[in-house]
Amino acid sequence: MVMDDDLTQLEQMLRDRAAEVSHVQYVPTTMLARARRRVARNALASVLAAVVVVAGASAGLANLGLLHGSGVRVPGDSGSIAPAPTACAAADLRAKVSLEGAAGSVEGSIELTNVGGATCTLTGRPTVSIFSSGSEVPLQVMGSGPQWEADGASQPQGWPVVSLRPGSAASVRVRWSNACPQLSGPASWKIDLGNGAGTLDASGADASFVPPCNGPTEPSTLEVGPFEPSAGA
């Protein structure tokens, strides 16, 4: 058919023209320069975008206080971080014993007041010793619960860590029973804070209060509670 012949001739003509076009062996210099500039711009834009992302993330973390350790941010001062309170040392505290008689024993508390210039913390249970006539009284020491628990009160905020601002006090519940053999002199109390924080003497008009010896063959016992906020704090 005539139409088929025309199509065949057209295809052959296109093939001949295509064969006449020479293969390009090089890229013009101006085109290469433009390509290099475009690649450089794209790379620079990527680097700047990464810098912006990192800077934004760092600023966000700084605002949350996460880049400044475990301190506490001071309200109203975006650049100041207050150091976390340290453990109380014996030199920071003054101890006072308050006791009263209770069915063959004496019980009460040791009040520890922060007389230092900074907030400090107490946690755990101290080691309590009793002395009389220059010698340590043999005691069977036992742990007891805190006073707030015995009273059926709610757990204090932050407990078992007790934070003491200057002038505030912590308390240790104590109960001493069966002072045998009967002591020949007044008693004095010593409190070891533990963890190398030191030992201090407890004062108080009733610190020398001694329970009776009700069972000569039984040990003298001392129950000691953990640090807790003072009821009067």
Considering the domain architecture, whether residues 101 and 187 belong to the same structural domain is answered as yes
Residue-wise pLDDT for 138-169, tens only, equals 999 999 999 999 999 999 999 999 999 999 99
Task: Tell me which of 50, 82, 114 is where a domain ends.
Answer: 82
Considering the domain architecture, whether residues 112 and 219 belong to the same structural domain is answered as yes
The model's confidence at residue 78, banded by pLDDT at 50, 70 and 90, is low
Considering the domain architecture, whether residues 41 and 123 belong to the same structural domain is answered as no
Considering the domain architecture, whether residues 101 and 203 belong to the same structural domain is answered as yes
Report strand pairing: 105-114 vs 93-102. Answer: antiparallel
Q: What is the pTM of this model?
A: 0.63
Considering the domain architecture, whether residues 63 and 94 belong to the same structural domain is answered as no
Supply the range of the domain harboring residue 9. Answer: 2-68+74-82
Task: Tell me which of 82, 116, 137 is where a domain ends.
Answer: 82
Task: Tell me which of 16, 49, 82 is where a domain ends.
Answer: 82
Helix (H, G, I), strand (E, B) or coil at 166: coil
Q: Which of 2-16, 73-87, 147-161 has the highest mean pLDDT?
A: 147-161
Considering the domain architecture, whether residues 60 and 140 belong to the same structural domain is answered as no
Helix (H, G, I), strand (E, B) or coil at 96: strand
**42 vs 66, higher pLDDT:** 42
Number of domains in the chain: 2
CB–CB of 93/114 below 8 Å? yes
Considering the domain architecture, whether residues 114 and 60 belong to the same structural domain is answered as no
The encoded tokens of residue 137 equal: 């009284």
CATH number for the domain that contains residue 190: 2.60.40
Considering the domain architecture, whether residues 22 and 94 belong to the same structural domain is answered as no
Task: Calculate the average pLDDT of the chain.
Answer: 79
CA angle (163, 153, 88) in 5-degree steps: 15
Rounded Cα–Cα distance for residues 76 and 72 (Å): 12
- Is a pLDDT exceeding 60 seen at residue 175? yes
Considering the domain architecture, whether residues 137 and 186 belong to the same structural domain is answered as yes
Rounded Cα–Cα distance for residues 216 and 24 (Å): 116
Considering the domain architecture, whether residues 92 and 78 belong to the same structural domain is answered as no
Considering the domain architecture, whether residues 55 and 133 belong to the same structural domain is answered as no
Any idea which residue has 């002038």 for tokens?
Answer: 167
Beta strands in 151-209 (DSSP E): 162-164, 169-177, 187-192, 199-203
Considering the domain architecture, whether residues 6 and 92 belong to the same structural domain is answered as no
